[in-house]
């Protein structure tokens, strides 16, 4: 009993009397215990967060917590261990001889961990914002995430080098010259890539939309990183670069909610005025009898070269072009029947030729001919 007590006293005396790197052994042991306690506390915190997330009800709040947990899952345990050791050493004071180096290491570790969290946040946030919520393309989200990650890690590395005393200004200047040369070499490719990102974010059209620009009309089949493929009405596939496509004025018929129709016809001049006055009502009746239409107006618009010009306007409450043509055909047939029943004739292009022949004593004979 006495021997064990004496042994423990000798061990304590040895620990308190010996030093390591200018600090007593007991301070290093306390640093190790404190670092272990901090690391365990961090693990318990993450475990508690997972448990609370599993108990949280479904909804948008759960989605936010799931994203936060996924970001925290990017925590590097090696970096966290080194941070815990540095923090414990700072509390116990054993790191005082290397305070300057420790401050640099502290900044590097903190910047590295924050960059890891931000890297994961970019990936999770873009997938949720572009793909899940906005219905965007996964390719666009991946490309944009890649560009943002490159910027993030470039800024992180530059911040670390600047903290370590490296002349970042000269380094950035030297890299800038090479970057300009590379950018000039791949200018067209980069412009198409950024145009693809613009299409994914702004969504002027999507796969399946029917668009018209210039002399091209067709449905979007594929939106790639460099080109967009369109299936034309004739059946052939048209490939257009994204940059050139965005320079055009694009008509997107897929998003048209209603179609405004203007059509006209010409009646003969011999039509009685009372019958002419009844024509707008006939046109309105024929339009309103059709489904999915909304009448706007019908008027005697002008006096044409060959007859009385009528103009009618109505709306088709559908975007489908074939349905519109079916409705227009039924309206035309109805006008033919009802105007014919009212003895109202359509105008026919006529040409009158007057021929004269001189006679003795200045008399003339005239004849008219109608082809």
Nearest Cα to Cα of residue 202 among 187, 223, 186 = 223
Block residue for tokens 């489904």: 291
Per cent of the chain over pLDDT 70 is 70
Examine the domain organization and report whether 24 and 157 are in the same domain. Answer: yes
Q: Is 283 exposed, middle or buried (0-12, 13-18, 19+ CB in 10 A)?
A: buried
Find out whether 221 and 231 touch, Cβ atoms under 8 Å. Answer: yes
Whether residues 116 and 154 fall in one domain? yes
pLDDT tens digit string along 107-125? 888 888 888 888 888 877 7
Over the range 330-340, which residues count as b (16 or more CB within 10 Å of their CB) and which as e? bbeebbeebbe
107 and 26 part of one domain: yes
**Same domain, yes or no, for 232 and 306?**
no
Question: Residues 210, 286: one domain?
Answer: no
Q: In this structure, is residue 355 part of a structural domain?
A: no
Cβ-based neighbours of 223, under 8 Å, separated by 6 or more: 137, 196, 199, 200, 206, 207, 242
Tens digit of each residue's pLDDT (9 = 90 or more) over 314-328:
999 988 889 999 999
- Compute the average pLDDT of residues 63-80: 72
Whether residue 213 sits in one domain with residue 139: no
Domain extent, residue 148, equals 20-51+65-166
- Crossing angle of helices 25-55 and 60-72, in 10° steps, is 150
pLDDT of residue 175: 63
Q: Is the residue at 13 inside a domain?
A: no
Residues contacting 45, CB < 8 A, separation 6+: none
Cα 287 from Cα 273, distance rounded (Å): 23
Q: Residue 276 is encoded by which pair of tokens?
A: 């002419």
Same domain, 103 and 146: yes
**More confident of the two residues 348 and 138:** 348
pTM metric for this prediction = 0.54
Q: Contact at 8 Å (CB) between 278 and 322?
A: no
CATH number at residue 215: 2.30.30.60
- 324 and 265 belong to one structural domain: yes
Q: Is the distance from CB of 88 to CB of 38 less than 8 angstroms?
A: yes
221, burial (CB in 10 Å: exposed 0-12, middle 13-18, buried 19+) = middle
C-alpha distances (whole Å) from 148 to each of 122, 130, 151, 154, 175 are: 7, 14, 5, 10, 19
Same domain flag for 29 and 151? yes
Residues 150, 283 within the same domain: no
Beta bridge pairs of residue 19 = 24
Same domain, 85 and 145: yes
pLDDT in tens, 135-166: 556 666 777 777 888 888 888 888 888 888 77
pLDDT score, position 63: 57
Judged on CB neighbours under 10 Å (0-12, 13-18, 19+), 323 is: middle
In the chain, how many domains are there? 3
| Alpha carbon distances (Å) from 101 to 9, 189, 194, 345, 366 | 36, 44, 42, 100, 118
| Residue 20, helix vs strand vs coil | strand
Q: pLDDT by residue (tens digit) across 121-143?
A: 887 777 666 655 545 566 667 77
Domain presence at residue 4: no
């Amino acid at each position: 009993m006495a021997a064990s007590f004496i042994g423990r006293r000798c061990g304590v005396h040895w620990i308190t009397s010996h030093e390591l790197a200018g600090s007593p052994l007991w301070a290093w042991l306390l640093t190790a215990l404190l670092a272990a306690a901090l690391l365990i506390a961090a693990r318990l915190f993450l475990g508690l967060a997972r448990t609370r997330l599993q108990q949280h009800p479904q909804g948008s709040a759960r989605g936010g917590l799931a994203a936060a947990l996924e970001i925290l899952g990017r925590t590097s345990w090696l970096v966290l261990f080194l941070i815990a050791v540095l923090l414990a050493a700072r509390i116990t004071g054993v790191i005082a001889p290397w305070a300057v180096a420790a401050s640099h290491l502290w900044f590097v570790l903190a910047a590295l961990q924050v960059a890891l969290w931000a890297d994961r946040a970019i990936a999770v946030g873009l997938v949720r914002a572009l793909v899940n919520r906005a219905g965007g393309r996964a390719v666009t989200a991946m490309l944009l995430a890649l560009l943002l990650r490159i910027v993030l890690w470039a800024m992180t590395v530059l911040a670390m080098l600047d903290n370590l005393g490296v002349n970042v200004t000269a380094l950035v200047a030297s890299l800038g010259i090479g970057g300009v040369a590379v950018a000039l070499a791949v200018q067209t490719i980069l412009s198409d890539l950024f145009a693809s990102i613009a299409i994914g974010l702004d969504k002027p059209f999507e796969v399946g939309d029917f668009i018209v620009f210039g002399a091209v009309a067709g449905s979007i089949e594929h939106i790639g990183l460099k080109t967009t493929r369109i299936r034309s009405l004739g059946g052939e596939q048209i490939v257009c670069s994204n940059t050139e496509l965005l320079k055009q004025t694009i008509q997107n018929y897929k998003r048209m909610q209603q179609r405004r129709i203007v059509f006209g016809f010409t009646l003969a001049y011999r039509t009685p005025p009372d019958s002419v006055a009844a024509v707008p009502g006939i046109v309105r009746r024929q339009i309103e009898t059709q489904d999915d239409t909304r009448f706007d107006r019908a008027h005697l618009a002008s006096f044409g070269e060959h007859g009385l010009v009528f103009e009618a306007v109505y709306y088709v409450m559908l975007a489908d072009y074939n349905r519109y043509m079916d409705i227009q055909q039924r309206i035309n047939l109805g006008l033919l029947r009802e105007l014919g029943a009212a003895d109202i004739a359509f105008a026919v292009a006529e040409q009158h030729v007057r021929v004269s022949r001189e006679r003795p004593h200045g008399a003339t004979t005239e004849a008219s001919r109608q082809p």
